[in-house]
Amino acid sequence: MSNKLIDILDDEKKVDGMNADYHYKQSIVPRLEKLDKNMKKAKGNYDIDDIEIRYLESLLETLSENPSHRLTADNMKECNQLWGKYKNV
């Protein structure tokens, strides 16, 4: 990976990859953060030992640490189930 802006901008694949990662994070992360907020509100506490909260926080941490990381189909299925459970809090 280059530290020079010109080197990065000259490589179209790198720029496309960075844009795809950025747009993915902009669409997924806010939704997961809202789910996290709803879950914590519904549970009435911020118990870190709660399996559902730890699961979601680990996904958010992974997405923030690795920009090219994508949620798997199983991750999405689990998040959708959690959303169905906690969306109206």
Amino acid making up residue 12: E
Q: Would you state the pLDDT for residue 17?
A: 65
Residue ranges per domain, the chain?
Answer: 5-86
pLDDT tens for residues 36-75? 888 888 887 666 678 888 899 999 999 888 878 888 999 9
Whether 76 has a pLDDT exceeding 70, the answer reads yes
Q: How far apart are the C-alpha atoms of 82 and 87, rounded to whole Å?
A: 8
Highest mean pLDDT among 13-27, 47-61, 71-85: 71-85
- Please give the model's pTM, rounded to 2 decimal places: 0.71
Please state the three-class secondary structure of 42-61 as a single string.
HHCCCCCCCHHHHHHHHHHH
Q: Would you state the pLDDT for residue 5?
A: 53
